[in-house]
A and B are shown apart, each in its own frame.
Chain A
Amino acid sequence: MKGLKKAYLALENGAFFSGYSFGAEGETEGEVIFNTGMTGYQEILTDPSYKGQIVLMTYPEIGNYGVNDEDVESWRPWVEGFIVKEYWDIPSNFRAKKSLGDYLRENGIVGIWGIDTRMITRMIREEGSMRGVISTTESRRDVLVEKARAVPPIVGRDLVKEVTSKEKKVWKEGDYEPWKGYRPAEDFLEKFSRRPRLALIDCGVKYNIPRLLVTHGFEVTVYPASAGLDEILSDSPDCLFISNGPGDPEGVPYVVETVRGALGKLPVFGICLGHQIIGLALGGETFKLKFGHHGVNQPVMDLETGKVEITSQNHNFSVRPESVERKARITHVNLNDETVEGIEIPDLGVFSVQYHPEASPGPHDSRYIFSRFYEYVNRYLS
């Protein structure tokens, strides 16, 4: 225990915690949210949707299996900070390449451990997600609480521009084969006689989405979020896909515009932020949830089959059902709080889900969504 460096966490409600530093030293700020997944911290860290957020893991032992080269959902970790109960520095796993702390340090991400994470979780549950600051350089409570209160809220902010791809690219990686690695896209595509060309608008896409799209027969091209409809249409895709991403859908009106223009011209799919953007493009509304859904155990019912799937989720905003009801059919509902989890407009070829059928982390229950996308496109095209 000797040689541990202190770190501090302050929240906008005045709460203050003293713990130990891991990962990078320094100071960081963001909206503090909690994730209830018991596995998958590496995927969480690298999920661009967490841009602007400090993630607290409710599972108390973190770092146990280290980090490896494969379990990444983008090219770098994006969280603003990381809060855990007990950080574990010595990884134990056959795929581990380095410790979590080293990984965070290399990527300049500040972590804090050794604090009552359950207490913070309960605070967030009661008071909603809050802004916070982690620091290894400042220990004064008042100063840090003030800083937390000065953190810009995420409502209305465009965080997508910070995480989207810089340029257009063709996606080449397919599904993962344990424990060999990701197989090339061709291995999968060659099995399909029809391979719809899918234009993916990258709002901060998790790699597993295009991996599974190609696995399910799509030829995927990734576009920066700023790509206009004309630019995309000029490549004559068969369908459009709007990815997940960080923050508030209202912060990216330009993507909403793109989607609005595409409706009726192309089948449009979306996941997470993409789903919310489609909701807005349809003239619907979104609202911020009290503390969002961040975990891998959310029950969602497919209203068509009546079956329940356990889903991976990570979102703070949600589509208001009454705002889209008249245009779209609600296909999926969250059984915990009855929020909208999926909508479709068969005539327009529109289909989107709020949760993450690509999982990673999380259960594979919802992979069928990719087949459903595929069927939609084929039906629409024929």
Chain B
Amino acid sequence: MPKRTDIKKILIIGSGPIIIGQACEFDYSGTQACKALKEEGFEVVLVNSNPATIMTDPEFAHRTYIEPLTPEFVARVIERERPDALLPTLGGQTALNIAVALDEMGVLEKFGVRLIGASVEAINKAEDRDLFRLSMERIGLRIPRSRYVRSVEEAEEAIEYVGYPCVIRPSFTLGGTGGSVAYNREEYVEMVKWGIDASPRGTVLVEESVIGWKEFELEVMRDLKDNVVIICSIENFDPMGVHTGDSITVAPAQTLTDKEYQVMRDAAIAIIREIGVDTGGSNIQFAVHPETGEMVVIEMNPRVSRSSALASKATGFPIAKIAAKLAVGYTLNEIRNDITRETPASFEPSIDYVVTKIPRFTFEKFPQTEDLLGTQMKSVGEVMAIGRTFKESLQKAVRSLEMDLRGFDRVLGSDISPEKRRDRIAEMLRKPNSKRVLYLGEAFREGFSVEEVYELTKIDPWFLHNVKQIIETEEEIRAGSDLIRTGAKGEKLEEAREFLKRIKSFGFSDAKIAELTGLTEEEVYDLRMRADVRPVYKLVDTCAAEFEAYTPYLYSTYEEENESVRTGRKKVVILGAGPNRIGQGIEFDYCCVQSVFALREEGYETIMVNCNPETVSTDYDTSDKLYFEPLTFEDVMRIVEHEDPDGVIVQFGGQTPLKLAVPLGRRGVRILGTSPESIDVAEDRELFASMLSRLGLKQPPNGTATSVDEALEIARKIGYPILLRPSYVLGGRAMEIVHDEEGLLQYMKEAVVVSGDRPVLIDKFLEDAIEVDVDAVSDGEITVIGGIMEHIEEAGVHSGDSACSLPPYSLSKEIVEEIVRQTKMIARELSVVGLMNVQYAVKDGEIYILEVNPRASRTVPFVSKAIGVPLARIATKVMVGRKLKDLGFDREVFPGHICVKEAVFPFIKFPGVDTLLGPEMKSTGEVMGIDASFEIAFAKSQIAAGNFLPTKGRAFISVRDEDKPRILPAARNLVEAGFSLIATRGTAKFLRENGLDAEEVFKITEGRPHVADLIKSGQIDLVINTPLGAKSKADSYYIRRTALVYGIPYFTTIAAARAAALAIRRMKEEEFHVKSIQEFHGAGTKTPKA
């Protein structure tokens, strides 16, 4: 069936900000879809609120709307664009929910928009548990016993049928939000209440628990002719009970016989037909009883999912791209397999390696919450590794995590007494947690049997035996250290070679071998080179080598034949960003991909190295060559040696590649752009300070302490409050502001280990300063400012967590000009070639430099979208010798509109965590609001971030004393916008004294009904609450948490509250309008050709 001709214009909905449960995999799928549909000649309209995505780059769609992903805003886009069709299956749950809402609102019908990919009926059949259960019964399959409830009363009845333990799952949520396991009535009732709150539709599913059953997933594709293929099977290492997004998963399934696999395959095909997903991909999850083989269906996603991205990377089969083509009428056999070229897409990939995915967690960011995994997803990213055996792929995945793991490192504290060790291990195995895989290692070291570990974890013995073999081999390596040392010298060369080759093929890193043998990592590397034990590279080809492959998508292993052919072209290696985590997300993948595009335009062969399966950078057709490998020195160095590139780019992948700059440089690898020496000046405190004083620039008074006494002395000298942080960190880990000596001592005791090697950095904290971020690009001769961003929140809130406005909305012209001058001065001094980011604090008319990063910053994509200039692309060209002048970017762009970036937080997923912002970064993603006015741009950013600003109702205000005068403008604006005010006693009194009418309400501790009661009963529409003193902290925490859980917009800083009040006022006067960025940038601004 050829392409449909009744459709010309297609609307694609993206997935919005990166949140837990919806990460950059949907940028990957959306980008593929945009490309595929454009290629087919369709006019593509895209809506996505996330500026950090590659898909929102103007070239991927004809019209790109960076607007909030709400049904209302998308309706406006539809009204304006009048697309023929809406493709909702590539933007995660967000897009699917919006499509359903648009249908319910009658928007689709009104404007004659057809849904393609999946019908509303199919979506509802898959998403609504009752309908899903009925569908499954119709085709003779079973799902766990369950009931759908809307109240505690209904829940009481349901449990009679379902029984304990049971799982409580809210409907229509992302990544299993609110899903929990209850073992008794008390827990059950509490969780049901919570689940009803968490579900956008107030409905909860109570379900028979299948905890401990084996978990499998199949990725299925179907076309309009009802051809169905299975792209990939996935077996979860962690059995049922842990959300699949939080599970270690392995492809293909390892422990199913063909009979069992075919039963599952038949079921999957029957399901996709019964649900009625016409075209595209679906993900279906199954649970299998380990002893009886009984199979139940867990769920089905009638869309491209996180697992689809993984399956695509695991097999080389581009699910999203094919799904897009199927949606417009092609059948599978009409689409060519890009990798083999000659065979069609209507086949099932066969793989000849093992793929392991490990989720990346950031529990260290949320110390108030327990490191415990369940049915609610908590991981923020993932890594994937490919090996020829499970052991190899597992160990490669572990070292890809960017957690300084060399392999199965020790996690059991050495202070634990021998008799308690076993208990501790058993405890850490029984409760699923982010470190459980490492505790498996500890268990086998401690002599646990596979059977014992199985009883505690229900992890399939096949996986456990593999881990056990790894641990046993650690012993062998320890015993073989002499052989490794002497062997390489030639005494026992053959024997040493064979030994090294064998342990390397088990996935042991040089760093781990070094640790076990007492050598250094570099020594192991050199010995290995001398013994000629090098990895070879194999192709990911969808077909287990049955057909020739034309796409160089490679992974390393220790075998005979190397399939990676070095070309004679000039080439550059780009190092990616590794797993998404807080502090390092999709922004860096955006930069890496832009860099690839630029290098390709400049005629270079591009070679990408990365290990994050969610990304566009790891799409096989992004770069000329893709190495799906860990970003460690060993793995990267070997690729560089093999490829012998003209240079390596470390500037775009955040801290991960940057930290390789020095070790690679030491081995003579050419680092493109700003020199490692300059990077060092920016990173090294003393060098940096002396540079600033040379330039006559200011920084906040500061010092470096290598002991507690030293810290106290420095603090006394510069005065409190002070900002404390360990050296060399990203995303503000373990940063804190302390106001007195007591706080300092506590930090030194609890938060860091201070030593000569690891000093603690101390800065004077500038209270109430305005923070400013600047991104600039320099070619070594001239520097052009990309954008100056004024933060909404005051200094002290991590720049990644702060909203910001481009251009600045309150800074004077003089200050802005001075910032420009200083930025250019620094760039010249550091001989920056490429990107540079500077963070300033402005206080009382003085400008202080907080930080200089001679690399791509988190804000580069935002700035690029705001000014309509692809900064990372220009920076790359500059790094390979082009000049800004030639690229047409020799002066600043001043857009005629305002862009506001807002951060998005994962607080709702972490019970017990406060929503206050601080120097420690906590956001997972970002959105952008763009408009002619600051107020509306800010309003859009809030709505896009899920903070739905109300335009009427009652605003609750409770702020600490020093904030009281500063909250008045916001309060006035709200009153003038027609809000009534309600406040706690002190704040109410103050408001009244200043002529504002304010009701009084109890604090939590003062009696009832208190403010949280009002929030819960829907009597408060907006919350403004700044942190009170330590005494009432618990009180104000509870207010914030309640607002969060009940979805009431809340602001925890005065600055944000003021901006919000301004926005609300404006929203009363002005309708929202939507406009594509192509239009924003089309007229007025000059876009360089780069």
Contacts and interface: CB of A to CB of B under 8 A. Distances in A.
Contacts of A121: 352, 544-546
A335 B346 contact: yes
Nearest to B463: A92
Contacts of B290: 94
Interface in B332-375: 332-333, 342-344, 346-354
B186 interface: no
A39 B256 CA distance: 7
Query: Which interface residue of B265, B290, B349 has the most chain A CB atoms within 10 A?
Result: B265
A250 interface: no
Contact of A307 (B227, B230, B561): B227
A299 B346 contact: yes
Contacts of B263: 178
Interface stretch (A57-65, A157-165, A216-224): A57-65
Nearest to B265: A363
A360 interface: yes
A179 B292 contact: yes
A61 B390 contact: yes
Contact of A122 (B292, B349, B389, B561): B561
B449 interface: no
Contacts of B226: 307
A116 B258 contact: no
Interface string B614-634: 000000000000000000000
Contacts of B293: 94-95, 178-179
Nearest to B295: A178
B252 interface: yes
Contacts of B473: 1
B1075 interface: no
B354 A71 contact: no
A88 interface: yes
Contacts of B266: 364
Contact of B352 (A58, A88, A359): A58
Contact of B544 (A36, A43, A360): A36
Contacts of B779: none
A95 B294 CA distance: 12
Nearest to B349: A297
Nearest to B292: A94
A1 B474 CA distance: 12
A90 B468 CA distance: 12
A103 B292 CA distance: 23
B370 to A, nearest CB: 31
Contacts of A176: 259
Interface string B232-272: 01000000000000000000111111111111011000000
Given A92-B255, A306-B225, A364-B262, A336 B352 contact: no
A119 to B, nearest CB: 4
A269 to B, nearest CB: 23
A186 B344 CA distance: 42
Nearest to A42: B257
Interface string A4-47: 00000000000001000000000000000010111110110000
Contact of B261 (A34, A39, A85, A119): A39
A60 B354 contact: yes
B494 to A, nearest CB: 12
Interface in B545-587: 545-548, 559-561, 563
A95 B344 contact: no
B352 A60 contact: yes
A132 interface: no
B1072 interface: no
At the interface, is chain B mostly helix, strand, loop or mixed?
loop
Contact of B350 (A42, A92, A295): A295
Contacts of A295: 350, 544, 546
A179 B354 CA distance: 28
A380 to B, nearest CB: 29
A243 interface: no
Nearest to A90: B465
A310 interface: yes
A242 B48 CA distance: 60
Contacts of A61: 254, 354, 389-390
A362 interface: yes
Contacts of B227: 307-308
Interface in B784-826: none
Interface string A345-366: 0000000000000011111100
B544 A335 contact: no
Contacts of A308: 225, 227, 331-333, 346
A90 B461 contact: yes
B389 A125 contact: no
Nearest to B389: A86
A341 to B, nearest CB: 14
Nearest to B262: A364
A297 B473 CA distance: 36
Contacts of A34: 544-546
B1081 interface: no
A40 B265 CA distance: 14
Contact of B333 (A85, A118, A298, A335): A335
Query: Which interface residue of B265, B266, B333, B545 has the most chain A CB atoms within 10 A?
Result: B545
A301 interface: yes
Interface string B212-225: 00000000000001
A226 interface: no
A319 B856 CA distance: 61
A93 interface: yes
Contacts of B254: 61, 64
Interface in A52-75: 58-61, 64-65, 68, 70-71
A118 B559 contact: yes
B561 A116 contact: yes
Contact of B545 (A17, A40, A65, A122): A122
Interface string A167-197: 0000000001011000000000000000000
A336 B559 contact: no
Contact of A65 (B229, B255, B563): B255
B229 A119 contact: no
B260 to A, nearest CB: 8
Query: Which interface residue of B227, B253, B258, B350 has the most chain A CB atoms within 10 A?
Result: B258
B291 interface: yes
A122 B262 CA distance: 28
Contact of B460 (A58, A92, A296): A92
B728 interface: no
Contacts of A117: 352
Contact of A1 (B348, B462, B476): B476
B351 A38 contact: yes
A298 B257 contact: no
B538 interface: yes
Contact of A301 (B230, B333, B548): B333
Contacts of B252: 38, 59
B347 A93 contact: no
**Lowest 6 A-B CB distances belong to which pairs?**
A40-B258, A361-B258, A119-B561, A92-B462, A58-B544, A39-B258
Given A38-B233, A95-B293, 5 more contacts: A60-B389, A92-B462, A94-B292, A299-B333, A363-B262
28 contacts: A1-B476, A36-B352, A36-B543, A38-B350, A38-B351, A39-B258, A40-B257, A42-B257, A42-B258, A58-B352, A59-B252, A59-B351, A61-B389, A71-B258, A85-B388, A95-B257, A116-B560, A118-B388, A119-B560, A119-B561, A121-B352, A122-B561, A122-B563, A295-B544, A297-B349, A310-B229, A360-B258, A361-B258
Interface of B: 225-227, 229-230, 233, 252-263, 265-266, 290-293, 331-333, 342-344, 346-354, 388-390, 460-462, 465, 473, 476, 502, 538, 543-548, 559-561, 563
